[in-house]
A = this chain, B = another copy of it.
Amino acid sequence: MKQKAFQDYYPEEFSHCYGCGRQNNHGHQIKSFWDGEESVAFFTPEPYHIAIPGFVYGGLIASLADCHGTGTASAAMYRKEGRAMDTEPALRFVTGSLHVDYLAPTPLGVPLELRGRVAEIGTKKWWWISGFRLRATCAPRPGHCCKMPDTMMAKKNKRKPRR
């Protein structure tokens, strides 16, 4: 059986994200998985995701890091709580701080490998992700995610549980 990605477990209401929503046909639909203590995702940019011809657009790289980070935070929180990823209440995160250093131009035409590692779990809502490696063209930097705020969760919480 094919392994399900973190994003495949997102409730329907939270699966429209441009970066990772399986229901967003315009978006990137990235898929993140555990690989031991690290999370990994692969993404091959489209021919038009360029800065100049032949090189990947840095904004795309930041976008991928954003969604791989929130996905990793979600999966790690489920794991910490000993819960399956399809159980309620849904654990969804948003990025609080995103920091990408671009070390060298990233060539187009090959899959990008994103790696995430949980660096620290805060006592309340904060959740830190160490960073990302993208074919050695981008340096890892700490960023953080936080639980989705009530203003975004409100619509979801008003609905009846799925089970």
Contacts and interface: CB of A to CB of B under 8 A. Distances in A.
Nearest to A95: B58
A100 B14 CA distance: 22
Contacts of A66: 57-59, 62
A20 to B, nearest CB: 9
Nearest to A17: B51
B152 A18 contact: no
Given A97-B100, A98-B99, A18 B52 contact: no
A55 B14 CA distance: 11
A130 interface: no
Interface in A11-56: 13-14, 16-19, 24-27, 46, 48-55
18 contacts: A13-B52, A13-B53, A17-B50, A18-B48, A19-B57, A24-B48, A27-B48, A51-B152, A52-B148, A58-B95, A58-B98, A59-B62, A59-B63, A94-B102, A95-B102, A97-B100, A98-B101, A105-B149
